[in-house]
Amino acid sequence: MNKGDILTVQDLINFGEKFKTDIGGLIQAKINPLRDFFTPKEFGARIGRPYSTVVYMCKTGKLKAFQESPNCSWLIHSSELERFVKAAEANVTGE
């Protein structure tokens, strides 16, 4: 579009649809639970534990996690979230 061009209703509808799709994709990417890995901060927020506890669990092998190099952040495999939730539920119900 150039300055001075006239917009039609269809132009606005198309823009609105593209905007919704683009924003929806960004939001979904931000909150998508089907990710491969979580950072300790993200994992802790999901399980209700502090960052330091999650890092400790990574260091001691209680969580399936790795570091790409010694000083990098831990990456926790997404399967650990489900395992952790199931273990917590079993602990509460006594199963």
Residue carrying structure tokens 């996690």: 65
Distance of CA 13 to the CA centre of its chain: 31
Helix (H) or strand (E) holding 93: helix 79-93
Instruction: Give 71's pLDDT tier (boundaries 50, 70, 90).
Output: confident
pLDDT tens for residues 45-58?
A: 988 899 999 999 99
| pTM: predicted TM-score of the whole model, two decimal places | 0.58
Q: What's the whole-number mean pLDDT along residues 58-79?
A: 90
pLDDT attached to residue 53:
95
pLDDT at 60: 94
- Residue 75 has a pLDDT of 93
Instruction: Say if residue 61's pLDDT is above 60.
Output: yes
Q: What is the model's pLDDT at position 79?
A: 87
Q: pLDDT-based confidence at 59, cuts 50/70/90?
A: very high
Largest CA distance in the chain: 70
Q: Edge-to-edge, what's the strand order for the sheet holding 37-38? A: 37-38, 75-77, 65-66
Which residues, 6+ apart, have CB-to-CB distance to 35 below 8 Å? Answer: 78
The answer, yes or no, to whether residue 29 has pLDDT greater than 70, is no
